[in-house]
Chain A
Amino acid sequence: MTWIAFLIGGALSGAVIAYAMDFRTRKGLLQGALGGIIAAILYMIT
C-alpha cells in the first residue's frame, strides 16, 4: 500500500514540479513524472 502511494504521489509531484518549471508539453510532463517516480522509489529504498 505504501509503495503504491509513493509511486502515484511521486508521479503526481514530479509532473507538478515539471509544470511549475514551464515544461508543459506532454513529453516534459511525462519526463517530470518519471523523475518523480524514480525519486519515490529511492525514497522507499533508502
Chain B
Amino acid sequence: MAHEIVGILSLLVFVFTVLGPLIMVGGRRLIPLPLQSLLVVGALVNIVMTVVAIWLDGGSLSEMLSLGSAVGSNVILLPIMAMAGGFLVAGALEGSGGFAALRVVINKMRGTPLGMAGTLVFIAQFSTIFAMPCGRIAAAALLPVIITLGPEGVRLINKKQMVVLVTALAVNAAASCGPSQIGGIGQIGEGFLQQLGFLTSSQEFGIMIGTAFTALFISLFVTRFDLDEKIRLTEGRQLAVSSVGAAASTDTALAEKHDEEVIARKFKAPLVGYISLIIFLVALVGAVFGLFGKTPITTTLLVATVVIMLIARLSIRQVISGIILHPITALVAGFLMAGSLAVSGGFKSLSQVLVWLSEFKVAGVGLGVAGMIALFVQLETIMPMPCGRILAAALLPIVVAMGPATGWMPNASGLLTYNQLAIVLAAFIVNAAASCGPSPIGGIGTISEGMVRSDIGYLRNAQSYGIMAAMTPLAALVMRFLVLTHNPFRLENLLIFFGLLFGLFVFNLGMIKLVNPATFKKRRTPTQEKEKSLATWVAFLLGGVFSGMVITFTLFWPDQASGFASSGPLLVYLLQGAVGGAIAGALLLLT
C-alpha cells in the first residue's frame, strides 16, 4: 500500500520539477533553479520516499541499500559517450578551422545556380544534414553566416528574411539531435527496438517538412507592426534602388561589390580547415554506412578527432573546449529521475494514469488509446525543456511500456504492437528532440530571439506549430508507410503516403493562409492583437486536429499483410485522435 502511494507521490514530484521552472509568477520563475539541479533534487526526494515505503511495508535493510545501485544502473553510458565523442570532434573542427571552411563553402553556394534563395534554404536545413549530438553545435557554426549576411552585416537579406531564417534554423537545429547517429536521442529509442538507424529517416523527413512549416508560420504571423515594434534588429539600407536613376544604380553596384569584399574578408579558412572537414565527413559517412567494419561510431569519431588534432596540431584543451556540458548533465539528470521513478513505482503509476486516460469517458465519449497517444507524443513540446533529453530519458521507458511485454520489459501493458510502438517512438522522439527549440528556459530558439532582439518567446509559436503539425505526424507517416511496410513494395502504401503528405501541405497552407492575421488590416491595433491571438488559436487547434488524425491513421489503418490487424472502427479512432490532437494544440499555447 505504501509503495502505491509513493508511486503516485513520486510522479507528482516529477511533474512539479518539470513544470515548476516553466511557471511564471509576477514576471519571475516560480522556481529559479536550473532544471538539472531540480531533477536531481527530485530524484533524491523520490529515493527517500521509497526508503520510507520499504520501511513501512516491512522491507529489509539490504533492500533499502540496493536502491542507490538500482537508480545508478539507469544511467546509460552509451549515449553519453557517443555525445561526448560528437562534441570532441566538433571541438577539433572548430579549433582546426573546419567550421570556418564550412562557412566559406556555404557562402560560395550563392554564386551557383542555387542563388540566394537556394542557399538560404540549404542553411535552414543544414543542421539536420550533418546532425550533431546537440543542435547548438551547428547553430553556433551557422549563426555567424546569418549575422554577416543580415541587415546589421552586409544586408544581403532583410529584417523579415532574417527573422524567418533564424526561426527555421532554430527548430531544425533543435530537432537535429533526434536522428543524429553520433549520440542522438533517437538512438535511445532504437536501443529499445534493438535496430540501430531504424528511426532515422522518419525523423529526418518530419524535420525537413516541419522546418518549412515553421518558416511559413512565422512569415505570415510576423506582421509589419511586429517588425517595427517587437523586433528590435535594425533594418539596414535597401538594395533595390534602380528606379531612381543610373547614378543610384552605379552606387548600388559599388556598394554590392564592397559588400562582397567584406564577405570575402570575413569568410576565410586555412587549408587544414578544409582537410579536417573532409576527414570529419569521411568519418561520419563511413560510420553511418559501416565502411569501417563493426567499429563503434564513438571510436570512429575519436580516431577522426585524433587525426584532425595531429594534422592541425591542436592541443587537448582546444578539443575539450568543444564539449557542451548542458546536454550531458541533462541526460544524466534525466536518467537519474527515470531511475528514481522506476524504483519508487512512478512509472507503474504513470502507466496506470495513461490507461485510465484512454478509458476515461464523459457521456460515453472518451479519448481512447488513439486520443491518448495523439496527446502523449506531443508532451515534450507542451512542456519544453532546454534539452529534450531531460524528459526523453525519463519518459521513453513509459512509451516502451505501452508496447508488447518482452524479457526486459515484462510488465509492459501491451496497448501497442511492436510496429505501432515503433511508429509512436519515431513521433515521440522527433517531438522530444525538437522541443528544445521553443523552450523559453534556455532553448535554441532563445539564441535566435537574441539575434533578432525580440522578446523571449516571440518565435516560440512558429516552432511549436512546425513541430506539432508537421514533424510529429510526418515521422509517424514515414515510419508506417515507408519504413515498416516498404518490403514487399505495394503501390497502395505509396499512394496513401503521398496522398496524406500532399493533404498535409494543402491543409496547412490553406489553413495558415486563411487565418493569416496580416490579411485583417495593415496596421495593428489592440483589437487586431486579439485577432492575431484568435488566428493563432484557430491554427493550433485545427493543426492539432489534423496532426492527431494523421498519427491515428498511421497506427490503426488495417493492413494484415504488413502486420497491422484491424482492431476496431477506424472512424472512431480518427475522432479520438482529432480530440487528442486538439487538446495538444490547446496545451501548446497555454503552457
Q: Which of A2-46 contact B (CB under 8 A)?
A: 2, 5-6, 8-10, 12-14, 16-23, 27-29, 31-32, 34-36, 38-40, 42-46
Taking a contact as CB atoms closer than 8 A, the residue among A6, A21, A40 that contacts B164 in the complex is: A21
Give the residue name and chain of the A residue nearest to B490 (CB): A1
Of B121, B164, B165, B498, which contacts A14 at CB under 8 A? B121
Given A13-B211, A21-B165, A23-B117, A42-B498 contact (CB < 8 Å): no
Interface of B is mostly: helix
Q: How far is the CA of A34 from the CA of B160 in the complex (A)?
A: 22
A19 touches B118 (CB 8 A): no
CB-defined contacts of B164 to chain A, threshold 8 Å: 17, 20-21
CA A44 – CA B129 in complex, angstroms? 8
- Establish whether residues B501 and A9, one from each chain, have CB atoms under 8 Å apart when the complex forms: yes
> Number of contact residues on B: which range applies?
35 or more
Are A35 and B205 in contact, with the CB atoms below 8 A? no
Bound-complex Cα distance A5 to B125 (A): 16
On chain A, the residues within 8 Å of B205 by CB distance are 5-6, 9, 43
Q: Are B501 and A38 in contact (CB under 8 A)?
A: no
Contact A35 B120 (CB under 8 A): yes
Q: Pick the contact of B117 from A10, A13, A18, A43 — CB < 8 Å?
A: A18
Would you call B285 and A20 a contact (CB within 8 A)?
Answer: no
Chain B nearest CB from A31 CB (Å) reads 4
Question: Which of chain A's residues have a CB closer than 8 A to the CB of B288?
Answer: 46
Interface residues of B in 199-216 (CB under 8 A from A): 201, 204-205, 208-209, 211-213, 215-216
A16 contacts B208, CB within 8 Å?
Answer: no
- Within 8 Å of chain A (Cβ to Cβ): is B528? no
- Measured between C-beta atoms, what is the minimum distance from A45 to chain B in Å? 7
- Is chain A's interface secondary structure helix, strand, loop, or mixed overall? helix
The distance from the CB of B404 to the nearest CB of chain A, in whole angstroms, is: 26
Contacts of B130 on A, CB cut-off 8 Å? Answer: 46
Assess the A31–B117 pair: CB atoms within 8 A.
yes
Q: Is B408 an interface residue (CB 8 A)?
A: no
B505 interface residue, CB < 8 Å from A? yes
Known: A5-B482, A13-B209. A18 touches B121 (CB 8 A): yes
B122 and A16 within 8 A (CB): no
The reply to whether A43 and B121 form a contact with Cβ atoms under 8 Å apart is: no
CB pair B129 A43 closer than 8 Å = yes
A13 CB contacts on chain B under 8 angstroms:
121, 125, 208-209, 211-212
The answer, yes or no, to whether B494 is at the interface (CB within 8 Å) is: yes
**Which of B98-117 touch A at CB < 8 Å?**
113-117
- Cβ of A43 and Cβ of B128 under 8 Å apart? yes
Instruction: Tell me the bound Cα distance from A26 to B210 in angstroms.
Output: 23
- Asked if A34 contacts B505 (CB within 8 A), the reply is no
- B118 with A2: CB separation less than 8 A: no
Closest B residue by C-beta to A34: B118
Say whether, besides A2-B486, A43-B129, A16 and B212 are in contact (CB < 8 Å).
yes
Residues of the A chain whose Cβ atoms lie less than 8 Å from the Cβ of B116: 23, 31
Residue among B114, B482, B489 making CB contact with A35, cutoff 8 Å: B114
Tell me which residues across on chain A come within 8 A of B204, comparing CB atoms.
Answer: 6, 43
- A40 to B482 Cα, complex, angstroms: 16
Question: Of all chain A residues, which has the CB nearest B167?
Answer: A20
Q: How far is the CB of A16 from chain B (nearest CB, A)?
A: 4
Say yes or no for B542: interface residue by CB 8 A criterion: no
Which residues 107-157 in B have Cβ within 8 Å of A in the complex?
Answer: 113-122, 124-126, 128-131, 157
Do the beta carbons of A31 and B161 come within 8 Å of each other? Answer: no
| Contact partners of B358 in chain A: CB under 8 A | none
For A31, the chain B residues whose CB sits under 8 A away are 113-118, 121
Residues of B within 8 A of A22 (CB): 158, 160-161, 219
Interface centre among A5, A12, A29, A40, by most chain B C-beta atoms within 10 angstroms, is: A5
In the assembled complex, 25 residue pairs joining A and B whose CB atoms fall closer than 8 Å, in A order, are A2-B201, A5-B205, A5-B497, A6-B201, A14-B121, A14-B125, A14-B212, A16-B212, A17-B121, A17-B124, A17-B164, A17-B168, A21-B164, A21-B215, A21-B219, A22-B161, A22-B219, A27-B117, A28-B117, A31-B113, A31-B121, A36-B125, A39-B125, A43-B204, A44-B201
Given contact pairs A32-B120, A34-B114, enumerate 14 new A-B contacts (beta carbons under 8 Å): A2-B482, A5-B497, A9-B209, A12-B212, A20-B220, A22-B160, A23-B116, A29-B117, A32-B118, A36-B121, A39-B208, A43-B205, A43-B208, A44-B201
9 A-B pairs closest in CB distance: A35-B118, A35-B121, A20-B219, A13-B212, A39-B125, A20-B215, A31-B117, A16-B212, A23-B117
